[in-house]
Amino acid sequence: MAAYWSRLSVGSRAFLVIVPALLVVGAVLTVAIALLLGPVLDFLGANMPLVRFVAAATAIIVMTIPIAFVIIFMELKVIAAMNLRVGPDRVGPYGTFMSVVHGLKVLAKEDFTPRGVDVPIFTLAPIVVFASIPLTLLVIPFAPGVFGQDFNIALLYFFAIGGMSVVGLMMAGWASFNKYSLLGALRAAAQAISYELPLTLSVVGIIILAGTMSLNSIVQQQAGSLFDWNIWKQPLGFLIFFIAATAEANRTPLDMTEADQELVAGFATEYSGMRFGFFFFAEYVNVFVVSALSVVLFFGGWNAPFDWPFPVTLSLDPGGLGLGLVFLIALAPVVGTIVLGLPFWLLSSRVSTLKALVIGFILFNLLVVGALLGWAFVSAAWVSGLAWMIGKTFVFVFIFVQMRGTLPRVRVDQLMSFAWKWLLPAALLNIFVTAIAVSILANR
Amino acid sequence: MSFIPGMGILKGMALTMRRFFAPKVTIRYPEVTPDIAVKYRGRLQLLHDEHGTLKCETCFQCAQACPIECIDMGGTDTRGRYAVHWGASETYGERREEAALRRAGREVPDPTYVRFEAVDTAAVDRILEDHDYDPHRMLSILEAIQAEFGRLPVAALKQVSFTTGSWYAMIYGTASYYRHFKFEKTIEQVAVCRCTACLMQGGGRLADALATGLRTGLGRVTPDGRIRLAWLPTHPDGAPAPVVALDGEPQPEVTPANAAAWAQALVGEHPATRTVH
């Protein structure tokens, strides 16, 4: 037996080992699934809220990565365009992989812990800062049925958890053993506490109007057209909310915590590598979160700004085609590729047959994906809702980026006096006016 | 409008929004080369550090990158190797040779002390006397000197300047203005006539054929520096059109058809100076 084995080639040996192993594993898995599927499904069904929470938390944490990459890329490209530059255009088509490469660079850097820092707190701080952001994403409704959890105190939860990032910043600044870090952290704490008040008070008007703190209900109450959105009822509230949210997200012109010209890099001075990256990862996700909350509260959430003018209802029943369906699946790609590639092949003698076929294949795929997306947009409410929600959110992200490209940073005393002398009284005024209007309209 | 709070912010946002859609100024360099005028002269400047020493380390990277080879250097650098000279090759051309010699460890001749060769000044004096020492007749004086020496030697021009009292620069300017004057003996002059009759009968084609055959352009010398292709100042008497002159002698047998072969034969008379491509 051993003699035969030694005469076999490497590939044959691998084949002889792998195929039986796969057979055994497959058999075991089949038996295990057959035995365990029922009980596992029962268990999951019995604990649906838990399953939902785990799934939502996983989805949200995974979601933050593309969101941050897209926003970083937007920031590079949009600010470059506003400076009359082209911006990154080397990595990937139109420089789209720039932020990914940026992230890889940060990941590959040395993760350095300076001497003198309070190591456990220093290590925990970026985690605390980052953790608070996806936790706030949990309550934001993205589309009908697409949300992490529907609390009846969602708004309260949002502000409570959102304020947690300041704890992380304070930890980072205090543990860093660096005066600039400590100054940045203290500024962050002062600023966050000052702006937390107008931020929370500015949405009290909405809570009075809606009669609930559930974000889902608030969005549902804004259903209809453009003019049913809360922005028409609470313009002052939106203004205060937006300014305070800018400060909460530590964005220019209110990014006193960073202030590289004054504080080196604020609380992040002593951080390097991915721990440094986590602070800014959190910041960019925070921009998305704050934009999403603005849309949910004031701009109708997932609601379209108008009724869809063409009431298209596609009731496709592929099963009705019978045997034709098989032919469609088998023939449509081939026919589509040839038909779409034919014009290129005919029009130019420089396009070879193979190139024309490749062009046809790509066009066919684009066509099919476009048709599928259009079909999903028309027929599934959550697809169109998600599209509107993401679209509106990125309009706000764009405004945040544009503000960074436009406005200079304010002074720290201007920042504080503006919060306490202007924003807070305005927010209180907004609450009084809303309350009076609501009571008058209710008693009439 | 300035009394409305937040108006400045809106104005700024509007400005950045306009800029967002404005055409961009970035030039994607390796793909797109900037449109630089032919006569553009980049200004060269050597930088000094805070102690007043040259930062240049004579690494020759700039000289290698320069497309028209206008940067060159030699001498002592910050490590005591070379003194750095730099500039256009017209003014610092000889330094190129210097640098090459110095790098090869050979003796560097100092061109400041290379004197011009002496000529027989008696002939110059005779010519000047014939012209009554009159600077206003400088053109015919120079023509007579060229007829005497076959060229305009520097010593003769110095003598003219010294005797007539006119500036050397003026004499040099006159001599370099007219194309039929030449300063070096070795250069043969192949000249094409550009009178209207010649141009109508194919003078342009003749000139092109000569330029091809000599591998040079009009008004320039051949790669070996021996033959200059030029325009004739006037049409020679009794010559057919179009006409070519070799050192002022009309060559009636040269036509546009055989001009290239003729020019090649002229170059080929000296096989030692044939350039290899």
Using the CB atoms, write b or e for A327-353: b if 16+ within 10 Å: eeeeeeeeebbeebbeebbeeeeebee
Confidence of residue A428 (pLDDT cuts 50, 70, 90): very high
Q: Same structural domain for residues B159 and B134? A: yes
What pTM does this model have?
0.61
Q: Same structural domain for residues B209 and B244? A: yes
Considering A129-133, A249-253, A429-433, the range whose residues carry the highest mean pLDDT is A429-433
B75 inside domain: yes
- What pLDDT score was predicted for residue B273? 44
B38 inside domain: no
- Residues on chain A touching B20 (C-beta within 8 angstroms): 78, 81-82, 402
Among the listed residues B156, B81, B154, the one whose alpha carbon sits nearest the alpha carbon of residue B123? B156
Q: Which of B9, B13, B22 sits opposite A84 (nearest CB)?
A: B22
B170 inside domain: yes
Higher pLDDT, A407 or A148: A407
- Residues on chain A touching B19 (C-beta within 8 angstroms): 81-84
Give the total number of structural domains in chain B: 3
Residue B65 clears pLDDT 50, i.e. is over it: yes
Q: Same structural domain for residues B86 and B142? A: no
User: Do the chains contact at B20 and A81, CB–CB below 8 Å?
Assistant: yes
Q: Same structural domain for residues B198 and B269? A: yes
- What pLDDT score was predicted for residue B39? 62
- Residues on chain A touching B12 (C-beta within 8 angstroms): 406-407
A6-27: pLDDT as tens digits: 888 888 889 989 999 999 999 9
Find, in chain A, the residue whose alpha carbon is nearest to that of B16: A82
- Over residues A394-419, the mean pLDDT reads 89
Confidence of residue A184 (pLDDT cuts 50, 70, 90): confident
Pairing of β B249-250 and β B227-231 = unpaired
Find, in chain A, the residue whose alpha carbon is nearest to that of B11: A406
- Residues on chain B touching A89 (C-beta within 8 angstroms): 28
- Over residues A83-111, the mean pLDDT reads 87
Show Cβ contacts of residue B25 under 8 Å, excluding neighbours closer than 6 positions: A84, A85
B33 inside domain: no
CB distance from B15 to chain A under 8 Å?
yes
B93-131: pLDDT as tens digits: 555 566 666 666 666 665 544 566 778 888 899 999 999
Q: Which of A228-242, B131-145, B236-250 has the lowest mean pLDDT?
A: B236-250
Confidence of residue B274 (pLDDT cuts 50, 70, 90): very low
- What pLDDT score was predicted for residue A261? 67
Q: In whole numbers, what is the pLDDT of chain B averaged over residues?
A: 76
- Over residues B181-209, the mean pLDDT reads 81
- What pLDDT score was predicted for residue B185? 64
Find, in chain A, the residue whose alpha carbon is nearest to that of B24: A84
Percentage of chain B exceeding pLDDT 90: 9
- Over residues B5-31, the mean pLDDT reads 88
Q: Same structural domain for residues B167 and B209? A: no
User: Do the chains contact at A86 and B26, CB–CB below 8 Å?
Assistant: yes
User: Do the chains contact at B20 and A78, CB–CB below 8 Å?
Assistant: yes
Percentage of chain A exceeding pLDDT 70: 96
B37 inside domain: no
Task: Report the Cα A429 to chain-centroid distance in Å.
Answer: 33
Q: Write a three-state SS string for chain B.
A: CCCCCCHHHHHHHHHHHHHHHCCCCCCCCCCCCCCCCCCCCCCCCCCECCCCCECCCCCCHHHHHCCCCCCCCECECCCCCCEECCCCHHHHHHHHHHHHHHHCCCCCCCHHHCCCCCCCHHHHHHHHHHCCCCHHHHHHHHHHHHHHHCCCCHHHHHHHHHHHCCCHHHHHHHHHHCCCCCCCCCCEEEEECCCHHHHHCCHHHHHHHHHHHHCCCCCCECCCCCEEEEECCCCCCCCCCCCEEECCEECCCCCCCCHHHHHHHHHHCCHHHCCCC
Confidence of residue B68 (pLDDT cuts 50, 70, 90): low
CB distance from B16 to chain A under 8 Å?
yes
Among the listed residues A161, A217, A166, A168, the one whose alpha carbon sits nearest the alpha carbon of residue A192? A166
CB distance from B9 to chain A under 8 Å?
yes
- What pLDDT score was predicted for residue A310? 62
- What pLDDT score was predicted for residue B73? 63
- Over residues A255-274, the mean pLDDT reads 75
How far is the alpha carbon of A155 from chain B, nearest alpha carbon, in Å? 28
B125 inside domain: yes
Find, in chain A, the residue whose alpha carbon is nearest to that of B31: A90
Q: Which of A82-86, A92-96, B2-6, B208-212 has the lowest mean pLDDT?
A: B2-6
User: Do the chains contact at B15 and A406, CB–CB below 8 Å?
Assistant: yes
User: Do the chains contact at A85 and B15, CB–CB below 8 Å?
Assistant: no
Question: If you compute the radius of gyration of chain A from its CA atoms, what whole number of angstroms results?
Answer: 28
Q: Same structural domain for residues B136 and B172? A: yes
- Over residues B245-261, the mean pLDDT reads 84
Domain boundary among B73, B88, B113: B113
Q: DSSP label at A271?
A: -
Domain boundary among B158, B177, B196: B177
- Residues on chain B touching A252 (C-beta within 8 angstroms): none
Find, in chain A, the residue whose alpha carbon is nearest to that of B27: A86
A190-202: pLDDT as tens digits: 888 888 889 999 9
- Residues on chain A touching B27 (C-beta within 8 angstroms): none
How far is the alpha carbon of B16 from chain A, nearest alpha carbon, in Å? 5
How far is the alpha carbon of A252 from chain B, nearest alpha carbon, in Å? 13
The count of CB pairs under 8 A between chains A and B is 35
Contact map slice: B 27-66 vs A, CB within 8 A: 28
Residue A305 clears pLDDT 50, i.e. is over it: yes
Range of the domain at B96: 61-113
Q: In whole numbers, what is the pLDDT of chain A averaged over residues?
A: 85
- What pLDDT score was predicted for residue B243? 85
B46 inside domain: no
- What pLDDT score was predicted for residue B275? 46
